[in-house]
A and B are shown apart, each in its own frame.
Chain A
Amino acid sequence: MSMMDVVIIGAGAVGSAIARELSRYELKVVVVDKNEDVGGDASKSNSGIVHTGYDATPGTLESRLVVAANPMFDKLAKELDIPFKRCGAILTAVTQEEYELLPELFRKSHKNGVYDVEMLTAEQARNLEPNISPEVKGGIYIPRESIVDPFALVVAYAENAAMNGVQFKLSTKVIDIQVEDGKVTKVVTDKGEIPTRFVINAAGLYTDDIAKMVGQCDFTVHPDKEDYAVTSEGLEEIIESVRRLLPAASPKDTITQYSGLRPVKTPEGYKIEASKEVKGYVGVTGVRSTGVTASVSIAAYVADILADEGLDLKPKTNFEPYRTGFTKFNELSWKEKDELIKRNPLYGHVICRCETVTEGQIVEAIHRPIQAKSLDAIKRRLWAGTGRCQGGFCSPRIVEILARELNVPAETITKHRKGSEILTGPNRLGD
């Protein structure tokens, strides 16, 4: 590969946001990720809350970046064409103990620079949300707490970055980072070497492994990355705490359960800085579940660090901030649906009944700048398979479409990566 200005390791929310931010400038940038798709680890199990930062630890970098990010989302969601809703949140106090903590949390919010919070009486809380437990004693209303589709956000960052010239090397694992005379020279991967001036460690759960490659690891990341599962105790606990808050909620209404890993760094806290010992290495570590929110501000913060370190950020004249999302078939009027099907009959073939996803949308997702190649990649982009039948109806059909569009045998189609193939091979042929 030719000489790059920046190699970003990790295509999660943070890495992809940095990629998009750097694509504003005349730079040669490549993103490397071991997974087959973007957003494959911590970002895929994010709650999708766009935090205000009201409950962050005041004075920390996390507080500063989360508080700064929230107001940026209106414009970001519009540019990237992703689902985003300013729904607001209520922090509820059900027990006396929780109730007594409210004034302190209220002041903490102010200390974080989040002043648009309001104390609620029990009655006010119930008026805002009638399903709330009758036991509720009071709460805090946080009007700018919002929700975003976290899968769509990562895909949109990455697609927009790719549209603006950033390269993505997925299914590519970083093995080493070479340093000469105290300067980063190249990133070594299982698919070859990438000479570069700068390397950004945005590897989330794996930031410790990457930091060790340049001898810059003064922290650890938990938990064990290979062993996580939904446990029956965990399920009981969740059901119990949801019931406490929303007594009408029934476990019978759940569609499915899943678990994921959130990076927990020791010592705790965002640490985003250029190394003093190894020129050209920038670590983005300690970013935890708030990272989906802070991704947009972290990206700008990292661009500043690169400029301070001597990277020339010359704005592109042709940067395109707008990215068009996938066709929202479900949101079209009957007339619009009809016209779309007349133009392309694939939109007349509904593949996922529960979420109303058509073959046309699936084909779109497969042929975008960041290709969807697995069942999970399709699921995260279009929500096909997330509904009540959990893919029972659509997955055999999606496997066939993936195989056809990617021109590969059906038995090579995976759930999420190599080793997770859905099929084991053709049936017996009359032996």
Chain B
Amino acid sequence: MFETNYDVVIIGAGPAGLAAAIETKKVGTQKVLLVERDHTLGGILQQCIHPGFGLHLFDEELTGPEYAYRFIEQIKPLGIDVLLNTMVLDIDRDDNRIYAVNRDKGVCNIGYKSLVLAMGCRERTRGAIAIPGTRPAGIFTAGTAQRYINMQGYMVGKEFVILGSGDIGMIMARRLTLEGAKVKAVVEIMPYLAGLTRNKVQCLDDFDIPLYLRHTIIDIKGKDRVEKVTVSKVDDNFNPIKGTEWDIDCDTVLLSVGLIPENEL
């Protein structure tokens, strides 16, 4: 078993973890370790290839990977240690140690004086919001689709309906359109937009993608692959209003219905 000790261990090397590592080191902490499950630093920023990052901090418009790089390039000169491809499986709070696994080192047993959890978020799923219907292929959370397209180089469908007007959903609407897909609707249950107005203008309006506020998907149909969804208007209590529903033919549904803190540990 690989055993080592640090003053501060940070789990997750996304924007929060990177910033935490840099600041911890800058204020004089001796030994700082970043533990990241993916093969690269930067976390979800690496799949956010759209611009719009860095306006506040760097006064210029950067893509996600560019923005991440501004932090990543500080890690080595500052002498921060990094473990990539490493999944933390357990925290032993009595002995202040974490247990992680890694292909090269096997089980890593790492002592800490302070531990920072910067594991980011998971996306809310279809199950979490209980959309009725069949269970065909072609239902993705927006971030998962983003990974397939931007990291792995594959398209996930041809005709889309997006549920939820969160920023990832709207940004994906534009991205899918640029990849040649047809986004037929963005459907939002609330009477207002969930994400930034900037994203509605740049990602929906500029591409003539219709946004339906106070609407939701009440049924998903399809045997092997999604064939259509039923969309309905909702009342003030978010219950579907009978008689307002209509079908939209599509082969893919993207869900952009919120993020939940990653707290498996």
Q: Does residue A349 face the partner (Cβ distance < 8 Å to B)?
A: yes
Is there an interface contact between A255 and B130, defined as CB atoms closer than 8 Å? Answer: no
Is there an interface contact between B104 and A345, defined as CB atoms closer than 8 Å? Answer: yes
Known interface pairs A257-B130, A388-B122, A389-B122; A337-B106 also in contact (CB < 8 Å):
yes
CA distance A254 to B103 in the complex (A): 33
Known interface pairs A338-B107, A396-B144, A427-B179; A235-B223 also in contact (CB < 8 Å):
no
Known interface pairs A341-B106, A346-B103, A395-B144; A229-B134 also in contact (CB < 8 Å):
yes
B84-124: CB near A (< 8 Å → 1, else 0) gives 01010100000000010111111101000000000000110
A421 / chain B contacts, CB cutoff of 8 Å = 137, 225
CA distance A358 to B37 in the complex (A): 12
Q: Does residue A275 face the partner (Cβ distance < 8 Å to B)?
A: no
Q: Does residue A356 face the partner (Cβ distance < 8 Å to B)?
A: yes
Is there an interface contact between B180 and A389, defined as CB atoms closer than 8 Å? Answer: no
A258 / chain B contacts, CB cutoff of 8 Å = 135
Is there an interface contact between A426 and B137, defined as CB atoms closer than 8 Å? Answer: no
B109 / chain A contacts, CB cutoff of 8 Å = 334
Q: Does residue A428 face the partner (Cβ distance < 8 Å to B)?
A: yes
Is there an interface contact between B158 and A424, defined as CB atoms closer than 8 Å? Answer: yes
Known interface pairs A350-B101, A427-B155; A338-B1 also in contact (CB < 8 Å):
yes
Q: Does residue A95 face the partner (Cβ distance < 8 Å to B)?
A: no
Q: Which of B218-249 contact A (CB under 8 A)?
A: 218-219, 221, 223-225
B132 / chain A contacts, CB cutoff of 8 Å = 229-232, 234-235
Q: Does residue A390 face the partner (Cβ distance < 8 Å to B)?
A: yes
Q: Does residue B63 face the partner (Cβ distance < 8 Å to A)?
A: no
A229 / chain B contacts, CB cutoff of 8 Å = 132-134, 219, 221
CA distance A358 to B106 in the complex (A): 12
Q: Does residue B125 face the partner (Cβ distance < 8 Å to A)?
A: yes
Instruction: Give the nearest-CB partner of A329 in chain B.
Output: B101
Flag the segment in A51-59, A192-200, A412-420 that touches B. A412-420
Known interface pairs A335-B1, A389-B122; A348-B101 also in contact (CB < 8 Å):
yes
A355-396: CB near B (< 8 Å → 1, else 0) gives 010100000000000000000000000000000111111011
- Residue from the set B101, B128, B144, B149 with the largest chain A CB neighbour count within 10 Å: B101
Is there an interface contact between A334 and B130, defined as CB atoms closer than 8 Å? Answer: no
Instruction: Indicate the size class of the contact surface on chain B.
Output: 35 or more
B123-159: CB near A (< 8 Å → 1, else 0) gives 1011110101111110001011001110111111110
Instruction: Give the nearest-CB partner of B107 in chain A.
Output: A338
Give the Cβ gap from B159 to chain A, nearest Cβ, in Å: 10
Give the Cβ gap from B131 to chain A, nearest Cβ, in Å: 8
Q: Does residue A215 face the partner (Cβ distance < 8 Å to B)?
A: no
For A, the interface residue count at a CB cutoff of 8 angstroms equals 58
A428 / chain B contacts, CB cutoff of 8 Å = 179-180
Is there an interface contact between B125 and A390, defined as CB atoms closer than 8 Å? Answer: yes
Known interface pairs A230-B132, A423-B148, A428-B180; A256-B125 also in contact (CB < 8 Å):
yes
CA distance A226 to B137 in the complex (A): 16
B133 / chain A contacts, CB cutoff of 8 Å = 229-230
Is there an interface contact between A417 and B134, defined as CB atoms closer than 8 Å? Answer: no
Q: Does residue B206 face the partner (Cβ distance < 8 Å to A)?
A: no
B103 / chain A contacts, CB cutoff of 8 Å = 341, 345-346, 348-349
Give the Cβ gap from B237 to chain A, nearest Cβ, in Å: 14
Residue contacts A-B, CB under 8 angstroms, 16 given? A230-B133, A230-B135, A255-B127, A334-B109, A335-B107, A337-B101, A337-B107, A341-B103, A350-B101, A358-B101, A396-B147, A423-B148, A424-B155, A425-B154, A426-B154, A427-B153
Interface residues, chain B, CB within 8 Å of chain A? 1, 37, 85, 87, 89, 99, 101-107, 109, 122-123, 125-128, 130, 132-137, 141, 143-144, 147-149, 151-158, 179-180, 218-219, 221, 223-225, 251, 264
A-B pairs with lowest CB-CB distance, top 8: A256-B127, A419-B224, A415-B137, A350-B87, A348-B103, A345-B103, A338-B107, A420-B224
Contacts A342-B106, A349-B85 supplied; 17 other A-B pairs, CB < 8 Å: A229-B133, A229-B221, A256-B128, A335-B107, A347-B101, A348-B101, A353-B37, A388-B125, A389-B122, A389-B123, A392-B143, A396-B152, A423-B154, A424-B158, A426-B154, A427-B149, A427-B179
